[in-house]
């Protein structure tokens, strides 16, 4: 098994970029989901509520970002220590952040048709991983809950074999994609070595309406796919319909496309299988 692609998303729910190599920090891939779009109340905004976010690209640019949408481009500087401190809400977490420029807020508000702000997680040590799954010193960015999301080409092939139309892996917004594994064997992994790094496999990833949207436009698909087919396949566990596995890195380091993926510990499937 090997890593076949790597991906990071500088702003949660916006388009990201593919990488040849990725530095891994405690919070996941360096630069992954350290920025967040929030509403006027400071609550996180994603493609669940604003599917058109799929049409905005965010890429690192020096000490900041470049945002692109519909032929428009904006360079956003990383807010410094003098920027306004705010509290961003991500699910049940209240996360200290710093407010980006008013220009960025106006640009996003125009693109999304509602009043928005852009914030940055200045201190990567502020948000803990859910204590039910992580150690006390495990940390996460503005991702939904865990530092790294891994998916398998073998599992996507098994899903696509049952779909009316095949889907690309980009629908699932992974960080690490592996090839050479049997379909769904990742449910049995507990610890992995990827290249020279090790990761804990802590929880299957619960999927939402975002995977039913076109990854470039945000347009809704037909028939609630792939969620409907994943449900019929028994891809269920406490928390919803699952595809992919959430990882927590054991250390900092680097991984690259082509790195060997080796299970170090395995166990029973972490999905609840339906009774035959």
Residues 74-91 have a mean pLDDT of: 97
pLDDT at position 121 over 80: yes
Count of C-beta atoms within a 10 Å radius of residue 41:
7
Please say whether the beta carbons of 129 and 138 come within 8 A.
Answer: yes
> Can you give the pTM of this predicted structure?
0.96
**Mode of pairing for the β-strands spanning 148-152 and 240-249:** antiparallel
Please say whether the beta carbons of 119 and 88 come within 8 A.
Answer: yes
pLDDT at position 221 over 90: no
Percent of the chain with pLDDT over 70: 98
Residues 153-170 have a mean pLDDT of: 97
Residues 233-255 have a mean pLDDT of: 94
pLDDT at position 275 over 90: no
**Residue 273 has what pLDDT?**
55
Write the DSSP string, 6-33.
EEE-SBTTSB-EEESEEEEETTEETTTT
**Residue 276 has what pLDDT?**
39
Average model confidence (pLDDT) across the chain: 96
3-state secondary structure at position 269: coil
**Residue 239 has what pLDDT?**
74
Count of C-beta atoms within a 10 Å radius of residue 238:
11
pLDDT at position 122 over 50: yes
Count of C-beta atoms within a 10 Å radius of residue 68:
17
Task: Kindly report the backbone phi and psi dihedral angles of residue 46, in degrees, each rounded to the nearest multiple of 5, phi listed first.
Answer: -135, 180
The model's pLDDT over 42-70, given as tens digits with 9 standing for 90+, comes to 999 999 999 999 999 999 998 999 999 99
> What are the structure tokens assigned to 178, written together?
């592996």
Helix and strand element counts for the chain (H, E) = 3, 19
157: part of which helix (H) or strand (E)? helix 153-160
> What are the structure tokens assigned to 270, written together?
């972490």
């Amino acid at each position: 098994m090997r890593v076949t692609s790597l991906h990071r998303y500088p702003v949660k729910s916006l388009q990201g970029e593919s990488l040849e190599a990725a530095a891994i920090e405690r919070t996941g891939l360096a630069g992954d989901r350290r920025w967040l779009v929030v509403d006027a109340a400071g609550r996180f905004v994603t493609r669940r509520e604003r599917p058109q976010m799929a049409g905005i690209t965010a890429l690192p640019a020096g000490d900041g970002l470049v945002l692109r949408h519909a032929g428009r481009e904006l360079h956003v500087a990383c807010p410094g220590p003098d920027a306004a401190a705010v509290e961003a809400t991500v699910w049940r977490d209240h996360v200290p952040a710093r407010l980006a420029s008013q220009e960025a807020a106006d640009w996003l508000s125009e693109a999304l048709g509602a009043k928005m702000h852009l914030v940055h997680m200045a201190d990567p040590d502020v948000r803990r991983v859910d204590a039910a799954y992580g150690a006390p010193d495990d940390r996460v960015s503005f991702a939904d809950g865990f530092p790294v999301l891994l998916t398998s080409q073998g599992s996507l092939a098994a899903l696509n074999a049952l779909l009316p139309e095949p889907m690309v892996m980009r629908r699932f917004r992974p960080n690490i994609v592996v090839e050479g594994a049997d379909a769904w064997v990742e449910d049995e992994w507990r610890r992995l070595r990827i290249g020279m790094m090790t990761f804990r496999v802590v929880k299957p990833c619960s999927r939402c309406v975002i995977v039913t949207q076109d990854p470039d436009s945000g347009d809704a698909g037909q028939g609630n796919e792939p969620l409907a087919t994943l449900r019929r396949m028994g891809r269920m566990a406490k928390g919803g319909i699952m595809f992919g596995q959430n990882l927590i890195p054991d250390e900092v380091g680097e991984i690259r496309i082509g790195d060997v993926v080796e299970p170090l510990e395995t166990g029973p499937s972490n999905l609840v299988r339906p009774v035959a």
